[in-house]
């Protein structure tokens, strides 16, 4: 059915306009005045000028962008931003962080040792005082008896 | 496509009517078929075709090649003219409500075709498809346009055109079968 159907559709190609209509319509159309030719040329000229101007404008903008990027005043930017872009600075920053960490640890150990010693001394003193108090209490009890 | 078509179009764009006449002679029949199969009436088809070529002649300087043949541009004009026609004359001639009598409007070739009942059925079935399916079916199978050309005319992708074509064929088969009589 499929190929027969396509063959039938192809037969529709036999449809053609009448010769009288074709001739009269052609004559009317071709004698119809249309916009003068100079308008077409003027329009084409404007189109070409616009395209050329746009292309040149884009080229100038690209040149400006490329020129600006290569001559960017980096020193005028934020110091944080500059250091973040420099690998040497980054290494130094990393090293100083490590160093600071070591210093902080030393300080902690130093302070904590003193505090622990003081705390131990306090404990020993309190134990000794407690013993003395107990001795005094026992003496008082003996005297009282 | 005409030989030296770019040159002919350029000359027509510069206002030489004889060159536009060559374009008219070459493209009249396919544009007429396209319009006639969509409106069914000879007189209406002739009026529309005249308007299409008149519009093309008046605005030919707006045509840019852009890789598509001149026929794509003409089909675009034709398609819009047919849409306008149905917008303004829907009350008189609705494509969905056209009866058998309307399909047999006097036309020398049409009368010949009407002798063949099968062809009449095909024409009638095509008219029952939606607008896109009609366009694709006529341009693809009657006028042998490429998918690229049809996609340019209908402003759809080639994939979409293939899909519409597939649905159009399926719908056309079922419409023809629905007439009740064994077809072919």
Domains of chain B plus CATH, in order, are 5-177 (1.10.1740.10)
Contact B160, B125 (CB under 8 A): no
Q: What does each C-alpha distance from B7 to A42, B1, B145 come to in angstroms?
A: 20, 12, 22
ipTM here: 0.74
**Interhelix angle for B5-13 vs B17-39, to 10°?**
100
Residue A9 has its nearest CB partner, among B21, B49, B122, at B122
Q: Are B138 and B34 in contact (CB under 8 A)?
A: yes
- Cβ contacts of B25 on chain A, cutoff 8 Å: 26
Buried-exposed string B70-97: b where 16+ CB fall within 10 A, e elsewhere: bbbbbbbbbbebbeebeeeeeeeeebee
The first and second tokens of residue A60, run together, are 């100038």
Q: For B66-123, write each residue's pLDDT tens digit.
A: 777 899 999 999 999 999 998 887 555 544 444 444 444 434 444 444 445 677 788 8
pTM value is 0.60
Q: Is the pLDDT of residue B174 over 80?
A: yes
Identity of the highest mean pLDDT range in A70-84, A96-110, B98-112: A96-110
Confidence at residue B92, expressed as pLDDT on a 0 to 100 scale = 53
Give the separation between CA A108 and CA A106, rounded to whole angstroms: 5
pLDDT of residue A95: 75
Average pLDDT for B149-162: 92
Q: How many CB pairs under 8 A join A and B?
A: 104
Q: Please indicate whether residue B80 or residue A126 has the higher confidence score (pLDDT).
A: B80
Q: Does the CB of A19 have a partner CB in chain B at under 8 Å?
A: no
Cα angle value B11/B17/B21 (rounded, 5°): 95
Q: Which two tokens stand for residue A66?
A: 């490329």
Q: How far is CA A8 from CA A24, B22, B104, B121, B122, in A?
A: 31, 30, 18, 10, 7
Residue of A nearest to B108 (CA): A18
Question: Of the given ranges (B29-33, B89-93, B150-154), which has the lowest mean pLDDT?
Answer: B89-93
Tell me which range, A32-36, A65-69, B51-55, B151-155, is most confidently predicted by mean pLDDT.
B51-55
Q: A61-65, A81-85, A134-138, B62-66: which range is least confident on average?
A: A81-85
Closest-approach residue (CA) in chain B for A43: B61
**Helix B117-127 vs helix B17-39: crossing angle, to nearest 10:** 90
Portion of chain A with pLDDT greater than 70, in percent: 79
Lowest mean pLDDT across A2-6, A138-142, B21-25? A2-6
Judge: B33–A40 Cβ closer than 8 Å, yes or no: no
Q: What is the pLDDT of residues A15-70, one digit of tens each?
A: 899 999 999 999 999 998 876 666 666 777 787 888 888 998 999 898 888 877 66
């Amino acid at each position: 059915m499929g190929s027969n159907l396509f063959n039938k559709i192809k037969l529709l190609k036999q449809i053609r306009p009448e010769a009288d209509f074709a001739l009269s319509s052609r004559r009317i159309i071709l004698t119809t005045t249309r916009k003068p030719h100079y308008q077409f040329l003027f329009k084409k000229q404007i189109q070409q000028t616009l395209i050329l101007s746009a292309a040149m404008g884009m080229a100038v903008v690209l040149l400006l962008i490329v020129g600006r990027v290569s001559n960017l005043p980096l020193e005028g930017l934020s110091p944080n931003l500059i250091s973040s872009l420099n690998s040497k600075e980054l290494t130094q920053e990393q090293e100083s962080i490590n160093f600071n960490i070591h210093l902080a640890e030393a300080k902690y150990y130093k302070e904590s040792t003193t505090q622990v010693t003081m705390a131990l001394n306090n404990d020993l003193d309190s134990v000794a005082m407690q013993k003395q108090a107990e001795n005094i209490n026992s003496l008082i009890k003996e005297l009282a008896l | 496509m005409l030989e030296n078509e770019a040159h002919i179009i350029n000359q027509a764009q510069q206002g030489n009517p004889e060159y536009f006449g060559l374009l008219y002679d070459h493209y009249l029949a396919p544009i007429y078929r396209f319009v006639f199969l969509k409106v069914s009436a000879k007189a209406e088809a002739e009026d529309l075709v005249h308007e299409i070529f008149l519009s093309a002649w008046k605005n030919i300087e707006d045509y840019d090649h852009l890789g598509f043949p001149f026929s794509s541009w003409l089909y675009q004009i034709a398609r819009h003219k047919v849409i306008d026609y149905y917008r303004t004359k829907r009350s008189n001639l609705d494509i969905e409500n056209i009866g058998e009598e309307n399909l047999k409007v006097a036309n020398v070739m049409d009368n010949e075709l009407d002798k063949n009942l099968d062809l009449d059925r095909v024409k009638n079935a095509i008219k029952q498809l939606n607008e896109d399916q009609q366009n694709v079916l006529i341009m693809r199978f009657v006028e042998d346009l490429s998918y690229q050309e049809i996609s340019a005319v209908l402003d759809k992708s080639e994939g979409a055109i293939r899909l519409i074509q597939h649905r159009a064929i399926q719908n056309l088969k079922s419409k023809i079968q629905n007439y009740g009589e064994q077809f072919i």
